[in-house]
Structure 1
Amino acid sequence: MRIVIAEDSTILRQGLVELLTFRGHEVAAAVRDADELRAAVAEHRPDVSIVDIRMPPTHTDEGLRAAISLRAERPGCAILLFSQYVETKYAAQLLADRAGGVGYLLKDRVAEVSDFLDALRRVAEGETVLDPEVVSQLFTATRRTDTVDTLTPREREVLGLMAEGRSNGAIATALFLSAGSVEKYVTSIFGKLGLPQSEEDNRRVLAVLRYLDS
């Protein structure tokens, strides 16, 4: 296979080059940021690219966003995300087209070199390969978003003000509601978000986290 590697860690990048070369693959380019990745894919048209998610300059999601743009520009462009982190928002977007040729493995969960090489081959052949932990977190994020979507417009207004740190009294004033009405909305929000009363968790904080996650 002809492969492009995008990894900002020099040691890991060089290690992947040596491993893949030793196994008989052609590493067409090994780069350290998203811009270099785009240029390398355009030049070499690899069978598959191995892409880290967090790369310069901000080390947040540059690699993942580059992968999404590459897939949009080059349908069928095979990408194997290889990261320490699960980024649910953009990962779901990457998988949304269901076209295959996409993988997402977590660096600290790959126990055998043979498993990694097999996943790389399968992605190059058009399959979708996901670490079970990635699947679990994507499912959880999707479920949370779907739950928030069940809220009425007024409940979303109330939850939005909760996210701003406002008390029930302040929410009542802002929305010209009675304190009792706000309390009913808050109770309904907790119910729809599946947040039962608990001594261990602050339901108000958890509700806001769900809102922000959506």
Structure 2
Amino acid sequence: MRVVVADDSLLTREGICHLLSRAGWTVAGQADNGDALLALVNAEQPDLAVVDIKMPPTHTDEGLVAAERIRAAHPTVGVLVLSQYVEPGYALRLLQDYPERVGYLLKERVFDPAVLVDALRRLADGETVIDPTIVARIMARRRVQDPLERLTERERQVLGLIAEGLSNKGVAARLTITERTVEAHVAQVFAKLGLSDDTASHRRVLAALAFLRSAGTG
């Protein structure tokens, strides 16, 4: 797998590239701003891009804008967006338009090689990755007219793990229950959220979006 890395901090870029190289990934290039990243992706056609959300010139959402443009122009390129802060709105913004092959993680987490490699592998497989800290914060909020109010506590736990991007097997392992039980909970979540009988992967993304949207109601 070929990866490009974009961050205006040289130390951060080099650190991520070092971790990827040690894990056996090919780093196809580095960029320190959004325009350079887009040019790099056009030239190298990588499998994945790791992008800091805040880059020059304004250090607001240049990385997010670049990620959206990459997904629009290169649908097969997965994008992992990194942030120093927990900002569910950014994750929701990215997922609403491009619900597959996108991830949003806190920057501190990617310096764990296992977390970084696992996230990138899941993106390469077409999955979605949301930082567990974002999921936990949303779960902890009190909500008014919560669209998820109909779910049981266990179903909310399952939905939170779906929002992180876990498979049924992964959810079962995290909650120490059987995969068959997870399947039953997932079916109930889909039914209570009114998600049509579509492909499982598509409904999982819609469920994750419903979960993230609920953050704005409280």
What's the TM-score once normalised by structure 1's chain length?
Answer: 0.60
Deviation at 1:104, TM superposition (A): 1.0
State the AA in 1 paired with 2:121.
Answer: R
Could you say which residue in structure 2 is the equivalent of 1:10? 10
Task: Give the residue type in structure 2 aligned to 1:2.
Answer: R
In structure 2, C-alpha distance between the alignment counterparts of 1:108 and 1:74, rounded to whole Å: 27
CA deviation map 1:20-54 (0-9, x unaligned): 12222111111110001111111111111000001
Matched position secondary structure for 1:56 = coil
- Aligned-partner Cα distance in 1 for 2:29–2:109: 25
Q: Secondary structure at the match of 2:17?
A: helix
Q: Distance in 1 between matches of 2:145 and 2:81?
A: 23
Q: Is the 8 A contact 1:78 1:101 kept in 2?
A: yes
1:129 aligned residue: 129
Following TM superposition, by how much is the alpha carbon of 1:76 offset from its aligned partner in structure 2, in angstroms?
3.2
Sequence identity (%) = 48
| RMSD (Å) for aligned C-alpha atoms | 2.7
Q: Measured at CA, do residues 138 and 6 of structure 1 come closer, stay the same or move farther in structure 2, by a change above 3 Å?
A: farther
Query: Displacement, 1:74?
Result: 2.1
Q: CA deviation at 1:140?
A: 8.7
Aligned residues: 148
Displacement of 1:69 in angstroms is 1.7
1:96: how far off?
A: 1.2
- Decide which moves more: 46-55 or 85-94: 85-94
Give the match for residue 86 of structure 1.
86
Distance 1:127 1:82 in 2: 17
Residues 111/7 of structure 1: CA separation in 2 closer, same or farther (3 Å cut): closer
The structural deviation recorded for 1:70 is: 1.5
Could you say what secondary structure the match of 1:76 adopts? coil
Q: Equivalences for 1:29-108 in 2 at 5 Å?
A: 29-97=29-97, 99-108=99-108
Mapped to 1, the partners of 2:145 and 2:38 lie a distance apart of: 31
Contact 2:53 2:60 (C-alpha < 8 Å) held by counterparts: yes
> Gaps spanning 5+ residues in structure 2: where?
148-215
Counterparts in 2 of 1:95 and 1:54: CA distance versus 1, 3 Å: same
Larger Rg: 1
Distance in 2 between the 1:145 and 1:40 partners? 45
Taking CA–CA contacts closer than 8 Å with sequence separation of 6 or more, which of the two structures ends up with the larger relative contact order? 2
Matches of 1:42 and 1:140, distance apart in 2: 41
Cα offset, 1:77, TM superposition = 2.4
